Chain A
Amino acid sequence: MARWPQALVGLALGVMTLGLTACSEGPWNNPYPDPEAIANVVYSSFDERPKHLDPARSYSSNEYAFLAQIYEPPLQYHFLLRPYTLVPLTAEAVPVARYLDAEGRELPEDAPAESIAVSEYLVRIQPGILYQPHPAFAKDETGGYRYHDLAGEDLRGVNVLADFPASGTRELVAADYVHQIKRLAVPWLHSPIAGVMQDHILDFKDLSERIEAAALPSSPGGARPYLDLREIPFAGAEVVDRYTYRVRLRGKYPQFVYWLAMPFFAPMPWEAERFYSQPGMAERNLTLDWYPIGTGPFWLSENNPNLRMVLERNRNFRGERYPGEGMPEDAAAGLLADVGRVMPFIDRAVFSLEKEDIPYWNKFLQGYYDSSGISSDAFDQAIQYGSQGEAALTPAMEEKGIRLLTAVQASIFYMGFNMRDPVVGGDGEATRLLRRALSIAVDFDEYIAIFANGRGQAAQGPIPPGIFGHRDGKTGINPYVYRWQDGRAVRRDIDEARRLLTEAGYPGGRSPETGRALSLFFDTTATGPDDRARLNWFRKQFDKLGIELVIRATDYNRFQEKMREGTGQIFMWGWNADYPDPENFLFLLYGPNAKVDGGGENAANYSSPEFDARFERMKNMENSPERLAIIDDMVDIARRDAPWIWGFHPKSYSLYHAWLANLKPNEMANNTLKYRRVDPELRQAKRTAWNQPVLWPLWLTGGLLVAAAVPAVVSLRRRERSRAL
């Protein structure tokens, strides 16, 4: 009787051993199918399912990781050159603006921004570019589209795109880009940049209204009948010829070319809209938001965001060549080894869903992911700091041949003051001094060391490194918080902050009205147990000045509401660059962009006529010494007024295995998968060496169970003979 549980376990272990032995030629813990062992595949992961894969709707980096490999806007960022440089992708050249006055007369390049009524960008694309194979392009014997007029019964048994047996392709034409620009104005697509483009692209707002008027109502199931956008006129974007289109902007907007490197401006064939808008498609989850259609080096062959996303080489891809020039250090880093070779170098990229850090990190160490970030838990295992504070890999990582790449991100995290608040906000000298005192007290260098494992750089102003307008060294420090000493920035003494606080009318941090410690309120969504240490740290920073920091923890919705209504006082916020231009950071402090009055991204509601006037000049200028001087002025004004405690620019640390090549951090480009090269043989050899199954525990467990069973059986028999229960 008592033997059978042990027998069962023994049997299970035996079956498991035999099964694993019989079914797997490589390592037993390999999560991928054995035939893939030496395939030309990149293995990566994602931790959050993409919400949108429609280039008109998508606006987050986790979605761009897929989209940017599939869709091709006319421009891209050079993979190797720094500062970030725009180069053609499908375009023949980076377009140059042509300026016109109100009467349509052409103006010189250096015409004053006020005289420019319209900017024209003429984009000429390369001929001969083909779309990926897709059923939307499939044609029948008569030359008609095979799947454009499907009846209900035609879709029986169709659940995924692969259920359509036929596919086709066609050449990319300028009309596809114009079609996509029109899509940005479609109200029911909710493109996040519709508001921005409305301000810049000519006729955009009216186009949106024309589309709304022309659209047929949705069916009860929610599907929208097809609306042929080609028939709706649009002065903002027009087809000039088969390979050329023109975009017309209101006034001068030099940053527009950066938008042309984002998926928002990628081409969209009308056939795709026609195909997906048929009745029954949306009900089967067959939508453009789920199945992209592009001209890029890869296509999405598997979209299962609960498990994995797979990108396959697009067999129709034209074959872009690896860039021929780089920075001086790139040759030594092996980044110029593939110059002129046709990309992409890999056949497939498999992205597996990994929500938890521990399995993700362990699988990277086992060689099942080619690259990895570093979570806080794994940081000490991967990184050690040298005597000069430089980050290096630990011996365990070096032994595995892992490489480390670091880069300061084009982002900023800051602590903002609500400038509408009567205590910390406003333009008065007292509140300005209070904010400056707090800027000294809140030591973000320490914050980076404690909470980010040193992965960050204290910000001296709003502009991150690598963006025009950022200054390094002595000229780049914020003189209100730092002083230059022994060749480096040193935070000003806390006594100086106390003095400023006294001048602000709060001697010893005490409110003159109540005689008690000044209480300030920090609104945060950080409510978990892990956040306690961080919040205590903030309290201690304020306590250095005798100020009491009251934490007002709230959920994200209420926090957003406070920010929109301007009822918060102090808060943490962040911004990632859309494009490498200082306008994209300085607009966060532009008065008309205030969150309360303008619904914009100026969360501090900072408003300074001096700053705003300069911003309006600077935003329309090309990079030049004159522009740099204005930016310097603006940064000085912002530092003086201190609407933010400048916080820090995060630093990314990435680890790569030895078999992965052509890696260079690029904070702007998302379409970098095509540059990756793998050595599958080396990977397989390493995986096999690192993952040899250890069998003795199985036999030991079985042996122990048998050993335990023998005395148990003896005892059982003896007991049965001796007495009843």
Chain B
Amino acid sequence: MTAYIIRRLLYAIPILIGVNLITFLLFFVVNSPDDMARMHLGMKRVTPEAIETWKRERGYHRPLFLNRDANGAETLTDTIFFDKSVRLFAFDFGSSDAGRDIGYDISQRMWPSLAIAVPVLVVGLLINISLALFIVFFRATYIDIAAVVLLVAMMSISSLFYIIGGQYVLSKVFHLVPISGYDTGLAAWKFLILPVIIGVIGGVGTGTRWYRTLFIEEAGKDYVRTARAKGLSERLVLFRHVLRNALIPILTGVVVVLPLLFMGSLITESFFGIPGLGSYTIDAINNQDFAIVRAMVFLGSVLYILGLLMTDISYTLVDPRVRLS
């Protein structure tokens, strides 16, 4: 398995270079270094000299990919692309174009994101699995039909509706929790109740329906019929056999998103005033801060690759038949 992991990590290098290249191309198709300078210097009374100085200080005065004025290897290395990309692979994100330490900002902002994402994942998982098992128990009855209709309806509703509706009902009408805001440490808990409840409820439709499908598929398999033929109670069949075997795809789905929990949710964080990573990239795009954009895309790619690798490894843990080679 070690060889497999090393191989997968080596595969990640060209993927990350590709992602970095695409990010670079997309960003600079829309924004030129001059545009970036204007955005950072402000729109009023900006002089061409100030723009040139800004670019020079941050290395944006160089050519994008190919420096025809340079000699030898510098033709490729004395470029914006090379200068801005190489350090990423050492996870040195450097400073934002506004001068802030990106690594520090990420380390500060990932915790509020996690404070919402982890409870939503855990509580949501428990509730969705429980509801799915309950529905499967009543499969092909009116309860099942009604539940599926309700789940489809819940899936069809925009997350924004849950957020605005939740804020309106729980905070504005019933005055139970703050509408938005955040605090550090333990004082954060009262600000997390509403986004977590909304996050869980917003995910019930999709999650429960997906797990219901998995359980029903498992419940139709031969080993389940055998278990029943042995005279096991339906409760034992569901918990001891169906649930355990359905855990493999559930695990796959969960493990792959684990690293991405760091990245936060834009809409949730924006509406609840949570200072997480969700809005970090979007703010950077709006502010034409390439340093942050490339760092966050790179980090997202690394986490995604890591998630996929963890998924593969988790297969071997839950299913002895799977061997990585």
A residues touching B (Cβ–Cβ < 8 Å)? 1-2, 4-5, 8-9, 12, 16, 19-20, 23-24, 27-31, 33, 49, 51, 59-60, 159, 187-188, 190, 192-196, 218, 222, 282-285, 287, 289, 304, 306-307, 352-356, 358-359, 362-363, 365-366, 555, 557, 560-561, 599, 601, 691-694, 697-698, 712, 715-716, 719-720, 724-725
Contacts and interface: CB of A to CB of B under 8 A. Distances in A.
Contact of B270 (A5, A289, A356): A356
Given A2-B134, A557-B30, A692-B175, A190 B167 contact: no
Contacts of A284: 101, 104
Contact count band on B: 35 or more
A28 B175 contact: yes
A698 B271 CA distance: 24
Interface string B267-279: 0001111010001
Nearest to B194: A29
B175 A359 contact: no
Please list the 10 inter-chain residue pairs (A to B) with the smallest Cβ-Cβ separation, ordered nearest first: A306-B275, A31-B181, A5-B130, A31-B178, A359-B180, A557-B35, A195-B47, A694-B174, A307-B275, A691-B175
Interface stretch (B60-68, B76-84, B185-193, B299-307): B185-193
Interface string B166-188: 01100111111111111100010
Interface in B62-109: 95, 98-101, 104, 108-109
A358 to B, nearest CB: 6
Given A31-B181, A693-B176, A716-B137, A196 B271 contact: no
B137 A560 contact: no
Given A31-B180, A188-B53, A720-B235, A5 B131 contact: yes
B277 to A, nearest CB: 10
A283 B92 CA distance: 12
A352 B273 contact: yes
Given A285-B104, A356-B270, A29 B179 contact: yes
Nearest to A187: B53
A531 to B, nearest CB: 17
Nearest to A30: B178
Contacts of B177: 20, 28-29
Nearest to A198: B47
B237 interface: yes
A355 B235 contact: no
A159 B283 CA distance: 23
B176 A694 contact: yes
B308 interface: no
A456 B137 CA distance: 63
A482 to B, nearest CB: 31
Given A51-B40, A359-B273, A555 B180 contact: no
Given A192-B45, A560-B35, A725-B228, A555 B175 contact: no
Nearest to B130: A5
Contacts of B171: 29, 362
A725 B88 CA distance: 55
Contacts of B100: 285
Contact of B174 (A352, A356, A697): A697
Q: Which of B53, B168, B239 has the most CB of A within 10 A?
A: B53
Given A192-B44, A192-B45, A359 B271 contact: yes
B57 A725 contact: no
Contacts of A51: 40, 42, 98, 287
A513 B113 CA distance: 62
A560 B37 CA distance: 13
B101 A285 contact: yes
Contacts of A194: 47, 50
A279 to B, nearest CB: 14
B180 A190 contact: no
Contacts of A23: 190
B46 interface: yes
B82 to A, nearest CB: 16
Contact of A359 (B46, B167, B183): B167
Contacts of A16: 176, 193
B2 interface: no
B179 A20 contact: no
Nearest to B196: A12
A560 B32 CA distance: 12
